[in-house]
Amino acid sequence: MHGTLNLVGYGLSAIGPAIATGMIFAAYISGVARQPEARSVLQPLAFLGFALAEALALFGLVLAFVLK
Amino acid sequence: MGDRVRSFQFSGEGFVPPSTADFNLPPAFGHSEYTTKPVFLVFLSIIVVSAFFIAASRKAAIVPSKLQFAGESIYSFVRHDLGEEIIGHEFMRFVPFLFTLFTFVLTNNVFGIVPFLQFPAMSHVGFPYVLALFSFFIFHAVGIKKQGLGKYLRGIAFMPGVPKFVYILLTPIEIATFFIVRPLTLSLRLFANMFAGHLLLLVFITGGDYMLHDSHTFLKILSPFSFTMGIGMTFFEFMVQCLQAYIITLLTALFIAGALADEH
Amino acid sequence: MASNDEGALWSIFGYLISGLLIWGGIGMALDHWFDKGHHWFTLGGFLLGMGASLYLVWLRFGRE
């Protein structure tokens, strides 16, 4: 077996953002389902939450490749 | 793949997991890189798509035959759901390109699970690169033609309503997004999905084959599960292949729409 | 409308990636240039890029 433990660490650290993204869109979908007219209010919030969670995942990815 | 399967039976070695080497198929004749299976599959896909749509549209009738109905529903899907809905009133100019892109990618992807062909050409990254270059040039050309070069570049590089010094921070990101990251992610998404999907099928099928020919009775008993997973994954792959063809066309349409509509 | 959402999500992803790559790359280049044996410019570049791209996402998608 060859490889680096960095990628195992990245795999572990990606669990958090994955769950976060799921929860954000679950809340967004149920909010829009209950109150369709709230969509225009909820959409930017959901996108910002997605961006924050995704930024952490990408940060982990970059660090996994950069750190020696 | 046939060679691999045979080598498991006779070598008696441990299981060799499929790797990137399985994607570099030997040339069919000669020593050229241009006579490998993916190249032939791409040409075959052009013939298949052309033949299908010529046959479907040759005898166009008011009451459509089954073939004509199939051809027309694919066409109207691209035209309405990808063209008219997203690009807006100027959509008709782009329907030929979107339709060609969609059917070409779809056919090549589905070749990944058609028996005896069984290789998605898009799992070689060169093909998606070329497709992404096409859509890259088209959406920039459309934007430049519509708004003029200076105005289009200014619209990309400078967000309105931001203090001046922040542009140092944001402009490199915007330029990198529009000129590097967008075409790159467009092609890499298609490539990665096809590559991973083909690798997944290889793992389950060659793994099941290895287990079936192993001397352990326990592994022999378990091998049908691996084959069953392989069959299930084949259906899953079909879904992914259609979805990826849809997504690359959708994102191209969205980029074109963005280039047409950017007025800030 | 759902397809436009998907386009927005992918372009958010693109902004985040290019922010990290551009400013992180500049930070790495600075570290390589000065060659002091530390990597603070790299770290600072990544943080700056992440912050800038989040700000950009907020400007593009969050401001309504």
Q: What is the C-alpha to C-alpha distance for residues B109 and B103, in angstroms, rounded to an integer?
A: 10
pLDDT in tens, B154-186: 888 887 778 888 888 889 999 999 899 999 999
A52 contacts C50? CB cut-off 8 A? no
pLDDT in tens, B111-123: 989 988 888 989 9
Is B157 domain-assigned?
Answer: yes
The candidate with the shortest Cα–Cα distance to B20, out of B113, B124, B129, B130, is B124
- Percent of chain A with pLDDT strictly greater than 90: 40
* Contact yes or no for A48/C6 (Cβ under 8 A): no
What mean pLDDT comes out for the span B82-108? 90
B174 contacts C14? CB cut-off 8 A? no
Does B193 reach chain C within 8 Å, measured CB to CB? no
Is B208 domain-assigned?
Answer: yes
* Contact yes or no for C12/A47 (Cβ under 8 A): yes
Does C3 reach chain B within 8 Å, measured CB to CB? yes
* Contact yes or no for B220/B214 (Cβ under 8 A): yes
- Percent of chain C with pLDDT strictly greater than 70: 94
DSSP state of B77: I
pLDDT in tens, C17-46: 999 999 999 998 998 888 777 778 888 999
- When CB atoms are compared, the residue of C3, C10, C13 closest to B86 is C3
pLDDT band at A6 (very low <50, low <70, confident <90, very high): confident
- Residue B264 has what pLDDT? 45
Does C40 reach chain B within 8 Å, measured CB to CB? no
Q: The tokens 């052309």 sit on which residue?
A: B50
**What is the count of structural domains for chain A?**
1
Is B88 domain-assigned?
Answer: yes
Chain A residues inside the 8 Å CB shell of C61: 44, 47-48, 51
| Residue A12 belongs to domain with CATH number | 1.20.20.10
Q: What is the C-alpha to C-alpha distance for residues C19 and B139, in angstroms, rounded to an integer?
A: 22
What mean pLDDT comes out for the span B201-210? 88
Span of A34-38, A62-66, B53-57, B92-96 with lowest mean pLDDT: A62-66
**Nearest chain A alpha carbon to C12:** A51
Buried b (16+ CB within 10 A) or exposed e, C33-48: eeeeeebebbbbbbeb
**Nearest chain A alpha carbon to C16:** A55
* Contact yes or no for A24/A46 (Cβ under 8 A): yes
- Residue B180: CA atoms inside 13 Å, Cβ hemisphere, count? 11
- Residue B8 has what pLDDT? 44
The model's pTM is 0.84
Does C46 reach chain A within 8 Å, measured CB to CB? yes
DSSP state of C36: -
- When CB atoms are compared, the residue of A40, A48, A59 closest to C50 is A59
Residue B84 above 60 pLDDT? Answer: yes
Enclosing domain of residue A51:
5-66
- Residue B49 has what pLDDT? 94
Is B6 domain-assigned?
Answer: no
- Residue B51: CA atoms inside 13 Å, Cβ hemisphere, count? 7
C22 contacts B172? CB cut-off 8 A? yes
Chain A residues inside the 8 Å CB shell of C23: none
Q: What is the C-alpha to C-alpha distance for residues B89 and C49, in angstroms, rounded to an integer?
A: 38
DSSP state of B27: P
Q: What is the C-alpha to C-alpha distance for residues B113 and B67, in angstroms, rounded to an integer?
A: 22
- Residue B109 has what pLDDT? 93
- Residue B2 has what pLDDT? 46
The candidate with the shortest Cα–Cα distance to C61, out of A45, B158, B256, B257, is A45
Q: How far is C47 from chain A (nearest CA, A)?
A: 9
**What is the count of structural domains for chain B?**
1
* Contact yes or no for B247/B189 (Cβ under 8 A): yes
C9 contacts A50? CB cut-off 8 A? yes
Enclosing domain of residue B145:
22-261
A58 contacts C16? CB cut-off 8 A? yes
* Contact yes or no for C3/B86 (Cβ under 8 A): yes
* Contact yes or no for B123/B198 (Cβ under 8 A): yes
Q: What is the C-alpha to C-alpha distance for residues C56 and B189, in angstroms, rounded to an integer?
A: 23
Chain B residues inside the 8 Å CB shell of C17: 181, 185
The candidate with the shortest Cα–Cα distance to B173, out of C26, A24, C31, A28, is C26
CA distances, B18 to each of A65, B194, B196, B207, C29 (Å): 24, 15, 11, 9, 37
Is B14 domain-assigned?
Answer: no
- Residue C52 has what pLDDT? 92
Q: What is the C-alpha to C-alpha distance for residues A17 and A52, in angstroms, rounded to an integer?
A: 9
- Percent of chain B with pLDDT strictly greater than 70: 94
Residue A65 CA, distance from chain mean position = 19
- When CB atoms are compared, the residue of C4, C14, C23 closest to B181 is C14
Residue B1 above 70 pLDDT? Answer: no
